Structure 1
Amino acid sequence: MTEKTRAAHRQPLLSPPEWLIRGVRPQPAPIRWAAVVRASLAMAAPIAVGLAAGRPAYGALVSMGALMGVISDTADAYRMRVLNIAVPQCFGAIGIMLGTLVYGTGWPAVGVLTLVALISGMISTVGAVASVSGLLLLVDTVVGAGLPMPDPWWKAPLLLSLGGLLVLALTLLGWPLRARAPERGAVAGTYRALAELLAAAGTPAYDGRRQDVTAALNTAYDLILTRRAHDHGRSGPLVRLLAQLNVVIPLVEAAAAAHLHGRAARRPEIAAAVRDLADVIASGRAGATPDLVLPEPEGPADRAVNAALRHASGVVHHPDPDTSADRTAANPGDRLGRPAPLGVRARRAARNVLLTAASWRYGLRLALCIGLAQILTSAVAVDRSYWVALTVTFVLKPDFGSVFSRAVLRALGTAVGLLTATLVLGLVPRGWWDVPVTLVLAALIPAFSAKGYAFQTAAITPVILLISDQLNHLGFQLIQPRLVDSLIGCGIALVAGYLLWPESWHARIGDRLADAVADTARYVECAFGGDGRGGDPSDRVRLRRRLYRDLSAVRSEFQRALTEPPPTGTRAAAWWPVVVAVERIVDATTAARVRVDHGAGPPAPAEAADIARQLNGLAEGLRSSATLVAVRTALSGDDRGVLAPLRQEVIAARGITSPQ
């Protein structure tokens, strides 16, 4: 890189760093208006009832429980929403009970909170629901230990649970009328994402559209297969939705071939036909299969798209598709990614909590920070000291994002939220005016939460202060302690939860990427191993789906690392081209396999084996090196053969070097 180029890329002296800009940039997420209305009603109504009954503290506790339910309500399918809201609320009730029992006990409270932090951190590594459950367990324990709660000990858990149940009841109002609407919408959304992918074939926009298809497929399979795991026997509508989702797989594979080699498959009639299928799925209607008028194919890629589209049209329009007859080479049936039985998953979860290094590492990390926060606030007089531990709890959630960036963003979000709280607590009279104010402020929480962590913190902060004022009636005096305590908590999380842990500075992004590259080598072997015709088609499809899902997780991990300061963020930025290159290799492998299946000549076995060997070498290099080193390599093969594009992608991946 020349000095002129370095100067062009050098940031102005007073400009914020790129990792901070990424963190504060709002995410392009749509507003869930139903969630906005639910949040307003669920949090304002308890305050109104509490004021009318002369028990404003009771109303505040119910509203606090509703806030926890609003934060937990992140799923689409109704069954998953029941789990996402109800299970964390149970852990929260246990937490508030434990906190109430140790309130005012001094050092015993420090020990209990530290132990709860260890348990909370360990169970948070199991999955999404467990993560939120662990969060609420610790949050409510801290709140119970820091605020006086009404007697007897069971009243506070009951009131908080009522708030969560209110959110759950409002959420489930539409279940009788829209029981399968989320699942149907997810499948239709997958078809629409696929239509955009086909429309982008042959253009630079293809890579972004493919990521959208991967995310849509992941969401749809998670919704439908989780529902199938809970249903006993055969459910006709679910079987139909699953069949409609399964026949997307051949179209996704054919899209990769159309992107690299298609001609007629890139014409707008193809994408329009897929959009029509999405409309049929969304409406839930079925009828006679229309006679599709498709462009005349000009090669194997076009033939693959036409065949997959006609098959999908037949399944989508059929009123009762038989999935057992659809387990073709490209469609392995509903076992694709289906969850294991409940007992198996319970044993896996217990093993992950008790026996994995990641579980103990995060649990000890969180326990250390909470213990330090409690020791500090016990030794030094800090107003509203429980906010220090609460800040540590919310910041130190690695599964929610970068610890460093969350600490910085929480400080920024708290400062902005306190400006709003200053106006509310300073200008609005206490009493019945709290109801309309809460109605407005609560609506901002789901609207802003999707935009990013700083936005969520800015929206939650004034609501929390308004609820706290119902409990202790300190009004404007809450502003300064909240800011000071939040900054102390962010400092503890940064020092004890980030700087002192080597894994914070040496993130295992290289190892995760190396695993994905090694899986890609296995995919090449599965697609073209042996005599060049590959192994079992069903195994190949399952491996491809798992690989795309894993690559999506790797991409998310790298995007999270990009929000870290140097050296982690710098290393992630240097290795980012390899992530893109691996995704292109998978696409090229899929395209080659589709072309062979539709008439192209199979490659020589030695050519596929050579490509797999080079990918395994790249994986080993990623594991053994902290920086990227370009490897100039040559791969032998037929320049006009079906693997020629794949070979070029592998050469490009091995030729990537880190900036000096």
Structure 2
Amino acid sequence: MSRPAFASFVLPPWLAHALRAQRGPVPWMAVTRGALAAGPLLLLAVLFDRASLGVVAAIAAMLAGINDRPGSRRASVRRLGVPAVAGAGGMLVGTYAGHSTGVLVLTLILTGLGLVAGGISAIGPVASAAGTQLLVATAIGAGMPLPEPGWVRALAFVAGAGWLLALRLLLPTPGAIVGDYRFDGERKAVAAVYDAVAELLDAVGSSAAIARRVSLTAALDHAQDALAGPRLRRYASSAAERRLRAQYAAALPLAEAATALAWGGEGVSARASEGPRRLAAAVRGNTHTGPLPAPNRSAPALRALDDALLHAAEVFDQGEGRDLHTRRRSPRALLRSVFGAGGREYGLRVALCFGASAAIAQALHHAQWYGQHEHWYWLPATAVFLVKPDLGPLLSRVLCRAAGTVLGAVVFAGFAAALPQPGGLIALVALSGALIPVATRHFAAQTAVVTVLVLALVMVGGEPPASWSRIGETLLACAIVLVVGHLPMPGQRGGGVRARLAAAGDAAQAYLNHVLNESAAPATSDATHIPGKPGAPSPRPSDPRPLRWTLRREAYRTLAEARTAIALAAAELPALARHSEGAAEIVVVLERIVDTTTACAVHLDDSGRLTTRHTDRLAALLDELAEGRERVGLRMPELPLAV
């Protein structure tokens, strides 16, 4: 019996991505913060007859709400604060540029800002959000007709975002009754690392081991971010903060041992994962670990796992340990991100989209195509969101933006006809703010909610309904971004993917070189000694493992970032996706190299020398990497094997 033709039909990647939405529980606290942010600020401003300032503050709160993602409170200071400061600067620059320059000069200023903000966005998620808010606020400041001077608008912008940040820092999470509630996000993230270690140990020897190792990397990345940022209180919380950092640092040798066991491929008993699970429970409950079941010490990786468990138990009891949570990036590395291939390509596209949309919008505005609706700034502001590659593939972004805008404009038109003004519109703003944390799971849903909120703000500010002009400007922005996104650029295409791959290769090289340099040190014992037991040699004067764990974290983290960039590039239309072909295979090889390097490190700790299995595997992987590099024409560092 033949199968129906549609049974084997597979959606193209760009369409599948447009239809895909994130899943997970409803972030009720983020919903609460969203409801208490833009709406109350707008209401307060209206009551004091300063509706225009309320609109600016509500816009800032809305943009901060988009960045209000799950995580720790300390991480939210940077994730929400840095973009808010950039947005306030953009509001200041845009206001004075829009009021004191002509169309040509203003367009050149906006284009230059787009070039700078686009290059900075290549650094990472926080920098990308900062670049976006800088450009959006600049366009709003230049085009929105408000009576206040630029510095007052900038203060209102900071106040709006700062209010949401204050809610994020002060409101307790329901059920977070263990210790200081302000550390519930950090505690949850660190506990997830120990759970991920246990799940990887359960999967050792099975086909699920690779996926579990990837999940462990994601958990470590999340915990690293959760512990980053300023201290919430300088003195009273120092003990709790030190304890959490020590617990995170104690998970690194456990993760290393578990990865080495997964590389070996021989299954371990269920007893091996009981210890990490008890450690996870101790982190969540802020309690002592109690006795931990010790695994069998029959192999180097198992002995490393046992030693790591003993060390973790000691750290949990004393609350002291190494602080390895901070991800430090040198100024040189940051500049390389901005001025490298990825930063240049991103900056040029953002500059072209932002500048071209601003020029077209002002030309249409001065030609009186907009009638009484002076919203030319919507066009460049929309183009900024559409041109961001970290929001998804280009065509997927365009389709979601268009569909979301049409839906949001139609929904708002119905509400505007039925709701009383301004009270009903302010309530609609509060409702939209509450929906943003849920709507961020899909770009079309987020666009629909933001469209309703923005159109409500326009009417509260005293302007007539603008649903249809909003649709027209969005569709025009979609067309501009589609054209610019497919234009040829100087240099090689796929700069973002290539930059991520180069960073991952550099990190893998640094990690491998460090481990191999350890192997070059004179051996101090035979191949069968057990560290920490009678007969073991004295430790080296300086323990090289903290640096090794830091290098290992950076290697896996950059590989995860490269995987994300490649997945987004692969979902582009074929004309763009072909520029990143073969990159995914290189990432797989690099991950195997880092896995093998981890197994080498654990074996070196145990015996002081590598086996032929380790060296042969490394040599084969390095040959495979060299072949892949030549096949796809990607610049990758040479990884020398010297053992």
Which band: TM-score by shorter chain? 0.7 to 0.9
Are 1:114 and 2:111 matched, yes or no? yes
SS at match of 1:148: coil
Tell whether the 8 Å contact from 1:113 to 1:371 is kept in structure 2 after alignment. Answer: yes
Task: Give the whole-Å Cα distance in 1 for the aligned partners of 2:572 and 2:557.
Answer: 24
Q: CA deviation at 1:389?
A: 0.7
Are 1:80 and 2:75 matched, yes or no? yes
SS at match of 1:433: helix
Q: Which residue of 1 aligns with 2:284?
A: 282
Between stretches 619-628 and 130-139, larger displacement belongs to 619-628
User: Could you tell me which of 251, 263, 268 is aligned with 1:265?
Assistant: 268
Tell whether the 8 Å contact from 1:521 to 1:615 is kept in structure 2 after alignment. Answer: no
Task: Give the whole-Å Cα distance in 2 for the aligned partners of 1:335 and 1:554.
Answer: 23
User: Could you tell me which of 458, 463, 474 is aligned with 2:464?
Assistant: 474
Residues 272 and 418 of structure 1, relative CA distance in 2, 3 Å threshold: farther
Tell whether the 8 Å contact from 1:195 to 1:274 is kept in structure 2 after alignment. Answer: yes
SS at match of 1:625: helix
Q: CA deviation at 1:530?
A: 8.5
Tell whether the 8 Å contact from 1:264 to 1:295 is kept in structure 2 after alignment. Answer: no
Are 1:459 and 2:449 matched, yes or no? yes
Q: Which residue of 2 aligns with 1:499?
A: 487
Tell whether the 8 Å contact from 2:272 to 2:293 is kept in structure 1 after alignment. Answer: no
Tell whether the 8 Å contact from 1:353 to 1:359 is kept in structure 2 after alignment. Answer: yes
Residues 129 and 591 of structure 1, relative CA distance in 2, 3 Å threshold: closer
Task: Give the whole-Å Cα distance in 2 for the aligned partners of 1:626 and 1:10.
Answer: 33
Are 1:139 and 2:136 matched, yes or no? yes
User: Could you tell me which of 542, 549, 557 is aligned with 2:565?
Assistant: 557
Q: CA deviation at 1:254?
A: 2.0
Are 1:91 and 2:86 matched, yes or no? yes
User: Could you tell me which of 169, 172, 177 is aligned with 1:172?
Assistant: 169
Q: Which residue of 1 aligns with 2:537?
A: none
Q: Which residue of 2 aligns with 1:576?
A: 584
Q: CA deviation at 1:488?
A: 1.0
Task: Give the whole-Å Cα distance in 2 for the aligned partners of 1:432 and 1:128.
Answer: 36
Tell whether the 8 Å contact from 2:341 to 2:499 is kept in structure 1 after alignment. Answer: no
Q: CA deviation at 1:37?
A: 0.6
Residues 375 and 596 of structure 1, relative CA distance in 2, 3 Å threshold: closer
Between stretches 479-488 and 610-619, larger displacement belongs to 610-619
Q: Which residue of 1 aligns with 2:192?
A: 189
Are 1:545 and 2:553 matched, yes or no? yes
Are 1:625 and 2:631 matched, yes or no? yes
SS at match of 1:28: coil
Q: Which residue of 2 aligns with 1:209?
A: 212
**2:78 partner letter:** L
**1:68 partner letter:** L
Task: Give the whole-Å Cα distance in 1 for the aligned partners of 2:431 and 2:92.
Answer: 30
Q: CA deviation at 1:141?
A: 1.6
Task: Give the whole-Å Cα distance in 1 for the aligned partners of 2:65 and 2:146.
Answer: 22
The two structures have a TM-score, normalised by structure 1, of 0.79
Task: Give the whole-Å Cα distance in 2 for the aligned partners of 1:370 and 1:296.
Answer: 61
Residues 608 and 307 of structure 1, relative CA distance in 2, 3 Å threshold: closer
Tell whether the 8 Å contact from 1:263 to 1:302 is kept in structure 2 after alignment. Answer: no
SS at match of 1:292: coil
Gaps of 5+ in 1: 324-332, 629-642, 644-660
SS at match of 1:247: helix
Gaps of 5+ in 2: 173-178, 524-543, 635-642
Q: CA deviation at 1:538?
A: 4.9
Task: Give the whole-Å Cα distance in 1 for the aligned partners of 2:513 and 2:156.
Answer: 58
User: Could you tell me which of 473, 488, 491 is aligned with 2:476?
Assistant: 488
Q: CA deviation at 1:155?
A: 3.6
Q: CA deviation at 1:34?
A: 1.1
Provide Cα deviations, 1:59-83, integer angstroms capped at 9, x if missing partner: 3332222212223334733343233
User: Could you tell me which of 389, 392, 399 is aligned with 1:408?
Assistant: 399
Residues 25 and 502 of structure 1, relative CA distance in 2, 3 Å threshold: farther
Tell whether the 8 Å contact from 2:519 to 2:604 is kept in structure 1 after alignment. Answer: no
**1:140 partner letter:** A
Identity %: 31
Tell whether the 8 Å contact from 1:47 to 1:56 is kept in structure 2 after alignment. Answer: yes
SS at match of 1:366: helix
Q: CA deviation at 1:45?
A: 0.9
Q: Counterparts in 2 of 1:46-445, with a 5 A limit? A: 46-74=41-69, 76-103=71-98, 105-174=102-171, 177-224=180-227, 226-227=229-230, 235-261=238-264, 265-267=268-270, 269-286=271-288, 290-294=290-294, 296-316=296-316, 318-321=317-320, 323=321, 333-334=322-323, 339=328, 351=335, 358-380=342-364, 381=367, 382-383=369-370, 384-445=375-436
Q: CA deviation at 1:508?
A: 6.0
Provide Cα deviations, 1:384-426, integer angstroms capped at 9, x if missing partner: 3322111111112234444443233322322332332233224
Between stretches 99-108 and 461-470, larger displacement belongs to 99-108
**1:372 partner letter:** A
**2:255 partner letter:** V
Between stretches 257-266 and 206-215, larger displacement belongs to 257-266
SS at match of 1:180: helix
SS at match of 2:147: coil
Tell whether the 8 Å contact from 1:529 to 1:608 is kept in structure 2 after alignment. Answer: no
Q: CA deviation at 1:561?
A: 1.3
Task: Give the whole-Å Cα distance in 2 for the aligned partners of 1:83 and 1:519.
Answer: 25
Task: Give the whole-Å Cα distance in 1 for the aligned partners of 2:492 and 2:419.
Answer: 44
Tell whether the 8 Å contact from 1:524 to 1:612 is kept in structure 2 after alignment. Answer: no
Tell whether the 8 Å contact from 1:524 to 1:608 is kept in structure 2 after alignment. Answer: no
Length, aligned pairs only: 599
Task: Give the whole-Å Cα distance in 2 for the aligned partners of 1:209 and 1:165.
Answer: 38
Tell whether the 8 Å contact from 1:510 to 1:622 is kept in structure 2 after alignment. Answer: no
